[in-house]
Amino acid sequence: MCSKIYQTSAFLGCLLVSTLNTTSMNADEASKPESLEQRVSYSYGLMIAKQLTERGIEIDFDQFASAFKTVIKGGEPLLSDDEASAAFDANQKILDEKSADGSDRDNLIAGKEFLAANLKKDGIKSTPSGLQYEVITEGNGAQPSSTDVVEVHYHGTLINGTVFDSSVDRGETTSFPLNRVIPGWTEGLQLMKEGSKYRFFIPYSLAYGERGAGADIKPYSALIFEVELFKVGE
């Protein structure tokens, strides 16, 4: 989980050292660290606290101390690695949205409003991740896994209808492994069977995120893809 935490939160939260002890001593009562172990421990505390503060991350000190103590003593964490990673991802999404401004914020708001209204339409379904989809045609062939190569036709637009990419317009299907595309595609295509045609409504967090892609897909852009699955496997 450490590498995931580094990537998602950009601080050394995995280095659980003994900066927190089991006494009730507060910061004002603490004595200046003297031994090497004390100074190293205090330095890690400083580093983690500064990075949390710089990124505007608020923490529950009781839970923070509990996690430290559990790991240091070899106990069983109260959250699994997947649950901890999901918490970091959710918090990172909040931080990213808070930092959005100008046209980026306009895209963020427009995407959220579009998806909220879209979800109320007949035939629109949603997954726990926030991916929305509409079944246009349901096939009965093979269903891909997250690492399978698939052959598809797709037509991608922004929520305002602007086409940014389309194999349909090019008149040629395309193939790729599902673990090499945006998360919304990886998740969505696994819902389909060969012969299916779905329309996906993808929030920015499952698309190109806060960075966007190319000239047309701006930061925080929600995307719409109509996808037809022809074949699973090479």
Q: Is 64 a catalytic residue?
A: no
Q: Which entry of 165, 198, 202, 204 is annotated as an active-site residue? A: 165
| CA distance linking residue 219 with residue 225, whole number of Å | 17
Q: Is 182 a catalytic residue?
A: yes
Q: Is 68 a catalytic residue?
A: no
Q: Which entry of 11, 208, 217, 220 is annotated as an active-site residue? A: 208
Q: Is 165 a catalytic residue?
A: yes
Q: Which entry of 154, 200, 204, 220 is annotated as an active-site residue? A: 154
| CA distance linking residue 166 with residue 160, whole number of Å | 16
Q: Is 154 a catalytic residue?
A: yes
Q: Which entry of 42, 64, 164, 230 is annotated as an active-site residue? A: 164
* Beta strand extents in the chain (DSSP E only): 124-126, 132-137, 149-158, 163-166, 174-177, 197-202, 223-232
Q: Which entry of 57, 124, 159, 182 is annotated as an active-site residue? A: 182
Strand partners, 213: 217
Helix axes 81-99, 2-9, angle to 10 degrees: 10
CA pseudo-torsion sign 70, 76, 82, 83 = negative
> Quick count: other Cβ atoms within 10 Å of Cβ 27?
6
| CA distance linking residue 225 with residue 234, whole number of Å | 23
Q: Is 133 a catalytic residue?
A: no
Q: Tell me the catalytic residues.
A: 154, 164-165, 182, 208, 225
